[in-house]
């Protein structure tokens, strides 16, 4: 998936400024697709230049003007074509797993600490996911069609997080035996 598709998806329901989009991205699609605010702003300009987004300058009192972006018909068509096209998964690059190939008694405690840190971060993420699920998706059967898709993406994140926690627990158990030997 290109960042452009994630941005256009975020703009399906509402027009937003770059700042609003970047903030919304942090707590929605950003949970599954990482992008800096600078990357988002750059992509907004490219999409507008392609005619996939319209931009409107809105004057503000006591502040600089803001630019609000919305999806055009051409952007909606491009997004629909992308949805119907083939998907791809970007395999992760995680140096922790490469470090584990170098496991030894001298670094087992350090690697265990790193796994514990990752576990804690995942616990925090799962807590957030669960809050979102309870607040917005308590009754998934009654959701509008598009929101059911959002729910399914959230559910995938929850399940992957749960699997990662199980792996962390198993890894910590094994690393503890290496430290003791």
Please report the DSSP string for 48-72 in residue order: HHHTSEEEEEE--TTS--EEEEEE-
- Which pTM was predicted? 0.72
All residues at 6 or more sequence positions from 33 whose CB lies less than 8 Å from its CB, including other chains = 1, 3, 6
CB 59 within 8 A of CB 39: no
Q: Positive or negative CA dihedral for 10, 16, 21, 24?
A: negative
pLDDT along the chain (181 residues), means of 10: 83 89 77 80 94 94 92 93 79 83 92 96 92 90 90 92 97 92 73
Please give the Cα distance from 162 to 177 (Å, whole number).
Answer: 23
Quote the pLDDT of residue 3: 84
The domain limits of the chain are: 3-84, 95-180
pLDDT of residue 116: 97
CATH topology (fold) of 3-84: Arc Repressor Mutant, subunit A (1.10.10)
With tokens 């989009």, the residue in question is 21
pLDDT of residue 146: 85
SS3 171: helix
User: Per residue in 99-112, is it b (16+ CB within 10 Å) or e — as a string?
Assistant: ebeeeeeebbeebb
pLDDT value of residue 88 = 73
Q: What are the respective helix, strand and coil percentages of the chain, to the nearest 5?
A: 65, 10, 25
**pLDDT computed for residue 37 by the predictor:** 85
pLDDT for residue 16: 92
């Amino acid at each position: 998936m290109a960042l452009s598709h994630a941005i256009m998806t975020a703009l399906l329901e509402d027009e937003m400024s770059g700042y609003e989009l970047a903030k919304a991205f942090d707590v929605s699609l950003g949970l599954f697709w990482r992008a800096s605010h600078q990357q988002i702003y750059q992509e907004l300009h490219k999409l507008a230049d392609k005619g996939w987004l319209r931009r409107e300058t809105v004057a503000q009192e006591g502040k600089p003007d803001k630019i609000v972006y919305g999806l055009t018909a051409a952007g909606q068509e491009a997004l629909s074509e992308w949805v119907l096209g083939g998907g791809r998964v970007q395999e992760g690059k995680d140096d922790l797993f490469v470090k584990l190939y170098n496991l030894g008694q001298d670094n087992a405690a350090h690697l265990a600490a790193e796994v514990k840190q990752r576990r804690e971060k995942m616990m925090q993420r799962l807590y957030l996911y669960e809050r979102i699920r309870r607040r917005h998706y308590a009754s998934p059967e009654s959701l509008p069609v598009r929101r059911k898709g959002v729910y399914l993406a959230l559910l995938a994140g929850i399940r992957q997080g749960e699997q990662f926690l199980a792996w962390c627990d198993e890894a910590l158990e094994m690393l503890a035996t290496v430290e003791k030997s």
